[in-house]
Homo-oligomer: A and B are copies of this chain.
Amino acid sequence: MAAPVIRIDSADDPRVAAFRDIRERDLTGRQGRFVAEGTVVLRMLAAHHGGRQGFRAESILLLENRVAGVEDILAAFPDDVPVHVVSQAVMDGIAGFHMHRGVLALGQRIPPRDLAAEIEALPERALAVVAAGISNHDNMGSIFRNAAAFGVSLVVLDETACDPLYRKALRVSVGSVLSVPYARGGSTAECLERLQERGFAVWGLSPAGSAEISKVEISARMALVLGTEGEGLPEAILGRFRTARIAQNPGLDSLNVATASGIALYQIATRGGFIDG
């Protein structure tokens, strides 16, 4: 049951203060609090509000001409989540720039998930992805989108990976950051050791990998490790774990990490039966 819609006529109204200067807030990196943009992400927030991962919607802000189009989504939020409606001028005043997106929500994720506990909770057959130092929010969002498509049970972030709840990562993920469980560990090596201890076969993806991705040995528990686009995975990691490559024409820049993750996950998921239905 959704809350009644609250009309806001001033950008200075304290009820929408949390939405002010969204773009600058992004830069401050507030772990755990996030901005959900657009209908697709709002729908995912409604679906996962109050769920196991601890996401909660705090407040919703809509451009007046967008209300009718999202009524079914609003109905899925409990009535303690306020819904504010504004004109374009007030929206622009709140955002601090011309905001062409008319569907926004603020959310929180409390508490952060503990990596060891998340690994412990995984089923016997599970596919995990490790985002090792992924610093580009588009790439992070794409990795989550692919993880959702290919039955990934857990995304592991090392200590240097960027925040998947950042506005752009969340949008690029089409909201999958809210549906695919994830947790942050320490260094890449520590994350991988923890997975390996729990029976995961760890495979680093690298243009210099030794096995072709279509031929890697499938285990009941598989972990695919993705490095940054420029640097790739560090030698110390490539030397300690098994590695896979994606065949491609020689002499080119390697594939985009989003595309590479899609190809590798498709291979592992279809060969290992990690996709539902």
Contacts and interface: CB of A to CB of B under 8 A. Distances in A.
A275 to B, nearest CB: 6
Interface stretch (A61-69, A107-115, A257-265): A257-265
Interface string A131-149: 0000000000010011011
A263 B214 CA distance: 12
A251 to B, nearest CB: 9
Nearest to A149: B248
Copies in the complex: 2
A247 B249 CA distance: 25
Contacts of A270: 214, 247
A255 B214 contact: no
A246 interface: yes
Closest 3 A-B residue pairs measured CB to CB? A259-B262, A149-B248, A174-B253
Given A259-B261, A260-B262, 9 more contacts: A40-B253, A145-B259, A149-B248, A248-B275, A249-B276, A249-B277, A255-B262, A258-B258, A259-B262
21 contacts: A40-B253, A142-B259, A145-B255, A145-B256, A146-B255, A146-B259, A149-B252, A151-B249, A174-B252, A174-B253, A176-B252, A246-B266, A247-B266, A247-B270, A248-B275, A258-B259, A259-B261, A260-B262, A262-B263, A263-B263, A263-B266
